[in-house]
Structure 1
Amino acid sequence: MVQTRNLTDPVVRSFVEAVNTHNREAFADVLAPNATMADDGTERDLEEWTDREIFTTRGHIDVVEESDEGRAFVADYRNDTWGSMRTSWRFTVEGNKISRFETGQA
């Protein structure tokens, strides 16, 4: 397990911290204005998906291992809807903001 404070990429670290503390403002601050995302290869509405999968269901990311200089990781993700599952996450970071992230079952 990788402690959140030890994640390599500071922007990705801020993303994980915002998710784990359920801080919508910090989450929005780390995203680029027109950020996009996909879940299991399907494009999703970012605001609707994060509300449903993270904020109203107490989502939490425990990073197991990171790669790609900290812009990708495998994690145990849990929320009140789905319980716990192994997931993969990949981030595109531009100008200290996340412009895209992709997640799915690992």
Structure 2
Amino acid sequence: MIPVNQLTDPAVRAFVTAVNAGDQQAFAAALTPGATMSDDGSDRDLQDWAEREVFSSGGHMDVESESDGGRALVASYRNDTWGEMRTAWRFTVSDGRVSRFETGQA
């Protein structure tokens, strides 16, 4: 596992830190206005997804590996709804914040 504070990309580090802390304000601050996302190849409403998959269900990421300068992760993701699964994450960063992320099973 890679400790969150050692993730290469600062924007991705802020995103993962916010997810793991369950910190909605920090999560919003890690994203650009109008940020978008997809889950398993389908675009989702980011706010609804984050509330359901992260904040109300105790979402947590344990990063196994990173590539693409820290903007692609493989992580063990767990929450109270789905349990634990191996997931892939790809981030697009603009102006130091995440403008899009794509996640799905790895």
Report the TM range for the smaller structure's normalisation.
over 0.9
Residue 7 in 1 paired to residue 4 in 2? no
Map 1:9-48 to 2 at 5 A: 9-48=9-48
Please give the alpha-carbon distance, in whole angstroms, between the structure 1 residues aligned to 2:67 and 2:19.
20
Please give the alpha-carbon distance, in whole angstroms, between the structure 2 residues aligned to 1:33 and 1:11.
14
Match of 1:55 in 2: 55
Root-mean-square deviation (Å): 0.3
The number of residues matched between the two structures is 106
Residue 103 in 1 paired to residue 90 in 2? no
Please give the alpha-carbon distance, in whole angstroms, between the structure 2 residues aligned to 1:99 and 1:65.
21
Deviation at 1:97, TM superposition (A): 1.1
Specify every segment of 5 or more residues in structure 2 that has no aligned partner in the other structure, as ranges.
none
| Secondary structure of residue in 2 paired with 1:11 | helix
Please give the alpha-carbon distance, in whole angstroms, between the structure 2 residues aligned to 1:21 and 1:99.
20
Match of 2:85 in 1: 85
Letter of the structure 2 residue corresponding to residue 21 of structure 1: A
Letter of the structure 1 residue corresponding to residue 88 of structure 2: S
Please give the alpha-carbon distance, in whole angstroms, between the structure 2 residues aligned to 1:98 and 1:3.
20
Please give the alpha-carbon distance, in whole angstroms, between the structure 2 residues aligned to 1:31 and 1:94.
9
Please give the alpha-carbon distance, in whole angstroms, between the structure 1 residues aligned to 2:84 and 2:63.
13
Deviations 1:58-84 (A, max 9, x none): 000000000000001000000000000
Deviations 1:30-65 (A, max 9, x none): 100010000000000000000000000000000000
| Secondary structure of residue in 1 paired with 2:8 | coil
- What percentage of residue pairs aligned between the two structures are identical? 61
Please give the alpha-carbon distance, in whole angstroms, between the structure 2 residues aligned to 1:96 and 1:21.
20
